[in-house]
Amino acid sequence: MIKQKIYYVANAKMPTPKAHGIQLAKMAEAMISAGADLELVVPAREAPGGNLKKFYGLEIEIPMAKIPVLGTYKHGKFGFLLGSLIFMLGSFGYLLLKRLAGEKFIIYTIDMDIFSFMFLPMIGRPLFAEMHDRKSASLPSKILFNRAKGIITINQIIKKELAATFSISSDKIIVYPNGIDLTEFAVATSKEEARKTLDIPPDRHIVLYSGKLYDWKGLPILLEAAKLLRGEVFIYWVGGSDEDLKKVSEGKPATPNLICAGEKNYKEMPLWLRSADVLVVLGTKRNDYSYLYTSPMKLLEYMASGRPIVASMTPANREIVSENEVFFYSPDSAEDLASKIKEALTNQPAAGEKARSASAKVHEFSWEKRADGVLRFIRDKA
């Protein structure tokens, strides 16, 4: 048990439907449930539904300190940097005052940007940092890694690169991939029930991809695969709008078998996953983050849903799954993606076996297990 309070500092709007918000909320909840006295320290940005418990469907309230900032985050790169600078100064002042008042605590931070954590090592309390990407040898990063008691990374590739870039001892870095709330996604709803609830035709072959429009995801391949599967399969993009589709297709007409379902409430996603015949995880060699450094929560959600998965064979995805759990396709090959989707639809014995293996393996990645491991690491190092 860690007796000192943990201040979890994150330059993130909370709540937010984006994946990083879910990750922050679920990890904070799991750490508190494991016995940690924890408070989130975030910027006071305008956000929908300020109550984290209600927004994310949490079991407990998460204490949250909101640091006053300028409302510039949405105004381009300069606006984001200015807002982050104010948050850096504000969060430093907030914790420094607690330090000067004699409070003993631990600081936990996460790499939501490239510099807002820079002053945290100067507070003089044990510091731990969670890294979701590699880092260049910048001054803020050098200060952070030189002073931090421990580093948590989401995959082995990031650990190796940080150790090499900053000459960090490997025992100072621990790897914990992102997690999943199994109570939400391991639901018993049948495909037929899910489709009836969502008003989806029961007789379609449905391949589903969930995610927002980000350049690093390599979404154009989904459009190409849809053309190859026209007349056989409907591909549903949950999280994408018709406007997003226009951007990805560069204004070219999309095939009628690609359907944008729009952004959905996080609580509704388990039903959408259960409605599908096959689920798709993308990944491209054209973006290092996609190919090497991500730890997709989406993949874990797919695994818990009990549906066959077709996944890009990237090093990042292979850190979570193998051929025992998914059908792998060659990154950036629409032809191979379409071929593997057909195989997952037609080879039902193999698809069923892989889905069952994935459902069993996903229990290794619960937020509870992740929080327990991280807290043990903090206790040992602090």
Say which DSSP state 260 is in. E
Closest CA to 307 of 282, 342, 257, 272: 272
- pLDDT class for 248, splitting at 50, 70, 90? confident
CB 41 within 8 A of CB 117: no
Mean pLDDT of 145-150: 97
* Average pLDDT for 130-153: 96
- Is the bond preceding 201 in cis, omega lying within 30 degrees of 0? no
Partners of 277 in beta bridges: none
- pLDDT at residue 156 tops 80: yes
**Average pLDDT of the residues in 161-174:** 96
Percent of the chain with pLDDT over 70: 99
* Residue 185 pLDDT class (50, 70, 90 cuts): confident
Query: pLDDT band at 66, cuts 50/70/90?
Result: very high
Mean pLDDT of 338-365: 97
pLDDT of residue 50: 65
Instruction: Report the C-alpha gap between 25 and 83 in whole angstroms.
Output: 22
Q: Report the SS3 class of residue 133.
A: coil
Q: What is the mean pLDDT of residues 100-122?
A: 97
pLDDT value, residue 304: 95
> Tell me: the pLDDT tens digits for 1-30?
788 999 999 999 999 988 899 999 999 999
pLDDT at 2: 86
Q: Is 47 exposed, middle or buried (0-12, 13-18, 19+ CB in 10 A)?
A: middle
Q: What is the mean pLDDT of the chain?
A: 94
How confident is the model over 190-218, as pLDDT tens digits?
999 999 999 999 999 999 999 987 778 88
175 Cβ partners below 8 Å, 6+ apart? Answer: 152, 153, 154, 155, 156, 158, 159
Instruction: Say if CB 327 and CB 354 are below 8 A apart.
Output: yes
> pLDDT class for 290, splitting at 50, 70, 90?
very high
Separation CA 177–CA 133 (nearest Å): 12
Enumerate residues 6+ apart whose C-beta is below 8 A from 310: 207, 278, 279, 280, 281, 326, 327, 328, 329, 337, 340, 341, 344
Q: State both tokens at 255.
A: 């095939």
Over range 160-165, report the average pLDDT: 97
Q: What is the pLDDT of residue 49?
A: 65
Mean pLDDT of 255-269: 90
Segment 301-327, tens digit of pLDDT: 999 999 999 999 999 999 999 999 999
Determine the CATH number of domain 5-179+366-381.
3.40.50.2000
244 or 310, greater pLDDT: 310
Per-residue confidence at 180, pLDDT binned at 50, 70, 90?
A: very high
Check pLDDT > 80 for residue 367.
Answer: yes
Q: What is the pLDDT of residue 250?
A: 81
What number is the average pLDDT over the span 248-257? 83
Statement: residue 178 has pLDDT above 90: yes
Q: Which residue matches tokens 């860690």?
A: 2
Provide the whole-model pTM.
Answer: 0.93
- pLDDT over 90 for what percent of the chain? 84
* Homologous superfamily of 182-364: Glycogen Phosphorylase B; (3.40.50.2000)
Determine the pLDDT at residue 242: 85
Tell me which of 49 and 12 has the higher pLDDT.
12
Q: What residues have CB less than 8 Å from 274, skipping those under 6 apart?
A: 187, 189, 190, 191, 193, 194, 305, 306, 307
Residue with tokens 């870095």: 173
Which residue ranges does the chain devote to CATH 3.40.50.2000? 5-179+366-381, 182-364
161-165, 263-267, 365-369: segment of lowest average pLDDT: 263-267
> Closest by alpha carbon to 297, among 214, 174, 211?
211
H helix runs in 229-296, sequence order:
242-249, 269-274, 288
Residue 90 has pLDDT above 70, yes or no: yes
